[in-house]
Amino acid sequence: MRPEAIVTTPFSGTLAAGWESVREVFADNFASQGEVGAAVSIFHRGKCVVDLIGGFTDKTDSIPYSKDTLQLVFSTTKGIAAIALAMLVDRGLVDYDDLVVEHWPEFGQHGKDEATIAQLVSHQCGLYAVDGPLTIEEALDWNTITARLAATAPRWPIGTAHGYHALTYGWLIGEVIRRVDGRSPGRFVQEEIAEPLGVEMYIGLPAEQEPRVSDVTTQRSTKKESKVDPKIAAMIEKFMGPGTPAHDALSLGGVFGDGAFNQPRVRAAEIPAANGISNARSLATIYAATMQEVNGTQLLSSAVRERAARTVTPENEPDKCLVLGTTFGMGFMTSGPFVPMAGPGSFGHPGAGGSVAFAQPSRELAFAYVMNAMSANLAGDLRSQALIKAASTVADSL
């Protein structure tokens, strides 16, 4: 990247006194980490203290990344779906200990009748793929994909292991939401979360909003780049190549290949695990509202939030899909070696390529980072972790 990039990259937004170190890290990400367009927003003690936007919507540097830019956030969407379910739990309409079949009778096929909602949303049901061939058209049709999942046999005895349901999680939790509430998960999020808080969070993008979306791209070249070790590349292929659980989970057996999520038809569908479109300010606002009243709205009670954010997957249990150890609560990823976020008590979700949004009640911290330049990771992105470290340090000093 050219040396003058940090000077010529356009930045905008607001910053409270004392949070200047976050802006420094944000700017450095453009200089040293190949950032193209990005935004970071932080709430502390219920107030927005950082709201920064910078860069461009693509590598042609023709359109500045602005407060009006919308961004696909991949699995960061899962945390929003988890909040939606937690709201229904708060209202007494469903309980995490309910059997799934109490609300979705068809789900009970192939011995799944004893599965609880808690097991379903913590990736313990062995449904990271569907039985039989599947087309992208079938995957984008809600009734078809949920029926196929109900008819799928679990890949392991339910409750004996966990494995990341990278795409299927969204349809599974989403169908529970639909059966309990009557609305699709995208509509529920719009009417019960986005509108009351005055934010933008789309699961199923309206056609008129499509021109505002910044397509995902790759990071710019930087001097800090290094070639991938061939041994590491071979290991990645072994554990994540075609035919592996990781490949089946992350792309639904290749149905969602490279570039799929830049397609308008994919963004218009409801995929509550992976196609949420939002911005950093909106995501941070939502997580702040899980802890206290924001813009006149509080989304969760402390009791339900604490239950939802509590890790339920066994300590150090390897993930059947991602191989490494992952930690989950009621649909949220919780702080652990795979996704540290801001440390103990953090709950939220990262997204492929770098995005992340979470809350940490002990610090009264809500954080969100979105970007269009994807790095080769599922979690623990260097850009977001540097921003989180800076934010945590400031919060601890106040």
For residue 9, the model assigns a pLDDT of 77
For residue 249, the model assigns a pLDDT of 96
For residue 13, the model assigns a pLDDT of 95
Q: Is it true that domain 5-397 has CATH number 3.40.710.10?
A: yes
In the chain, how long is the greatest CA-to-CA distance?
Answer: 61
Place of tokens 């920064």: 52
Q: Cβ–Cβ contacts within 10 Å for residue 64, how many?
A: 17
For residue 221, the model assigns a pLDDT of 77
Question: Using an 8 Å Cβ cutoff, are 86 and 55 in contact?
Answer: no
Count of CA atoms in the C-beta half-sphere (13 A) of 244: 18
Spell out the domain ranges in the chain.
5-397
How confident is the chain (398 residues) per 10-residue block, as mean pLDDT?
45 95 96 95 98 94 94 98 98 98 98 98 98 97 98 98 98 98 98 98 98 93 55 58 90 92 96 98 98 98 98 95 94 95 97 96 98 83 96 97
Count of CA atoms in the C-beta half-sphere (13 A) of 53: 17
Note the pTM of the prediction, 2 decimals: 0.95
For residue 5, the model assigns a pLDDT of 36
Counting every residue, how long is the chain?
A: 398
Closest CA to 333 of 300, 380, 295: 380
